[in-house]
Amino acid sequence: MTDGMNELLEGLQKGNIRSLARLISKIENDDPQKDEILKTIYKSTGKARIIGVTGSPGAGKSSLVDSITAYLRKKGDTVGIIAVDPTSPFSGGALLGDRIRMQQHAVDRGVYIRSMGTRGSLGGLARTTKEAVKLVDAFGYDWVIIETVGVGQAELDVMHVADTTLVVMNPGAGDSIQTIKAGIMEIADIFVVNKCDLPGADRVVAEIGQMLDLQKGHTEWRPPVVKVSTLDDRGLNDLMDSIEAHWGYLKADGRLEKNRGSMARKETLEIVDYRWRGMVDRHLHYAGQASEIINMAASGIKDPYTAAGEILSQVLADSGQGEDSTAEKGGDIMAILESALQELNGVEEKGGMSEYRSYLHGQAYGLATALKVLFPGPGNYGEKAAMAVRPVITEHSCHCGDDH
């Protein structure tokens, strides 16, 4: 780690906001020391309460975050905000935004607002945002609020790091329940019907209620539906009460630890995935055996299956210390696969979270395929992997099948 970087990390510990901002920029720009940064700060994370706010553009997410922040500041809590919403920056039209901006201008060190640029993040928006949340958490803010537009997989993925996720809706036809994506419904811990000063709020509340009645899996926590208007903050106290109630629910029976543990597990798999892909990319990028093999596949000299197998062997051999360690790596990959399957089991038991589930499916298949190619033959890892994923395959196809 360079001296400059150590200085920044010290600054972070001492509560220097400029250090925090510069570290987030380094993460966004995929700095070579990024992994080291995240490794160093990890032990300081886990203290902040993380709130996710998602919903359609214009639903009033930024305004709501403003209101929540003002509420929390009045209590003396500090708040870091990560906004992934390029269409509606905090400097935009939100009325009450002025309140926070004024505080900021008065050097309110208790609030930090960061917009994540969709351009800047080389490492993928979801990952970069999650990493920024870690930095803000490590900095020591009591709360981290993440705002994303609920449009794509990346935005949904970000919401998994939140302890409590608010889905913001509005009165009116344009935001009718039918138009809301299933994935968003699944991640909601609390529904906020914002702009309840406009007509039709009760109808939306009723529609959400009906939808919740139809859904299974809310036996333990049925997401409350709270009417709010950020114009005069009516309903804000109810919302904050609901957030507290959800926190109480999480704290009971170790759910919070379990959720965060499952996040760390998912994160580990993502890092393995990403580093593994990086290793493969590096091999394919530079002239050498791997890039020659892929060229042979391109020109039809080798079939893609053989070529893939050879490339994987090549990458493993280069990354390790010869053949002995290849066998060890088989064990390592097998362990990761087992951990993915275990996670998958847990997720399936809980129901819901279909996006995460299919992510884990993909992960398991990818690892099993790698093992089959690298360690073929009876009794080897390939066979073990095939057996390990078999129940998942059967169960998965059952979900998709007709009437089993």
Ligand X SMILES: Nc1nc2c(ncn2[C@@H]2O[C@H](COP(=O)(O)OP(=O)(O)O)[C@@H](O)[C@H]2O)c(=O)[nH]1
Rounded distance between C-alpha atoms, residue 12 and residue 32, angstroms: 19
Name which of residues 273 to 332 contact ligand X (CB under 6 A).
none
Stretch that binds Mg ion, among 60-68, 105-113, 218-226, 284-292 (CB under 5 A): 60-68
Of 52 and 309, which CB lies nearer to ligand X in the complex structure? 52
CA nearest neighbour of 172 among 196, 147, 148:
196
* Burial environment of residue 182 by CB neighbours within 10 A (0 to 12, 13 to 18, 19 or more): exposed
Binding-site member from 19, 62, 129, 148 for Mg ion (CB under 5 A): 62
Residue 391 binding ligand X, by CB under 6 A:
no
Stretch that binds ligand X, among 39-47, 91-99, 117-125, 339-347 (CB under 6 A): 91-99
Binding-site member from 28, 66, 85, 163 for Mg ion (CB under 5 A): 85
Of 61 and 246, which CB lies nearer to Mg ion in the complex structure? 61
Say if CB 379 and CB 372 are below 8 A apart.
Answer: no
CB of residue 221 vs ligand X: minimum separation in angstroms? 25
CA nearest neighbour of 65 among 265, 239, 223:
239
Name which of residues 330 to 359 contact ligand X (CB under 6 A).
none
Total residues in contact with ligand X, by rule CB under 6 A = 21
Binding-site member from 197, 267, 270, 348 for ligand X (CB under 6 A): 197
Rounded distance between C-alpha atoms, residue 322 and residue 319, angstroms: 9
Of 11 and 58, which CB lies nearer to Mg ion in the complex structure? 58
Name which of residues 134 to 153 contact ligand X (CB under 6 A).
none
Rounded distance between C-alpha atoms, residue 363 and residue 371, angstroms: 12
Say if CB 242 and CB 264 are below 8 A apart.
Answer: no
Alpha helices in 190-303 (DSSP H): 201-214, 236-251, 255-285, 289-298
Q: What is the phi/psi pair of residue 102, to 5°?
A: -65, -45
Name which of residues 175 to 194 contact ligand X (CB under 6 A).
194
58 interface partner picked from Mg ion, ligand X, none, CB below 5 to 8 A per type: ligand X
- x/- site string to ligand X, residues 47 to 66, per CB under 6 A? --------x-xxxxxxx---
CB of residue 56 vs Mg ion: minimum separation in angstroms? 10
Q: In what order do the strands lie in the sheet with 225-227?
A: 111-115, 79-84, 143-149, 49-55, 164-169, 190-193, 225-227
In three-state secondary structure terms, 149 is: strand
CB of residue 177 vs Mg ion: minimum separation in angstroms? 21
Look at the alpha carbons of 196, 199, 201, 204 in this order and tell me if their dihedral is positive or negative: negative
Residue 229 binding ligand X, by CB under 6 A:
yes
Of 151 and 296, which CB lies nearer to ligand X in the complex structure? 151
Look at the alpha carbons of 239, 241, 246, 250 in this order and tell me if their dihedral is positive or negative: positive
Q: Which residues of this protein are in contact with ligand X, per CB under 6 A?
A: 55, 57-63, 85, 88, 92-95, 194-195, 197-198, 229-231
- Residues near Mg ion, by CB under 5 A: 61-62, 85, 88
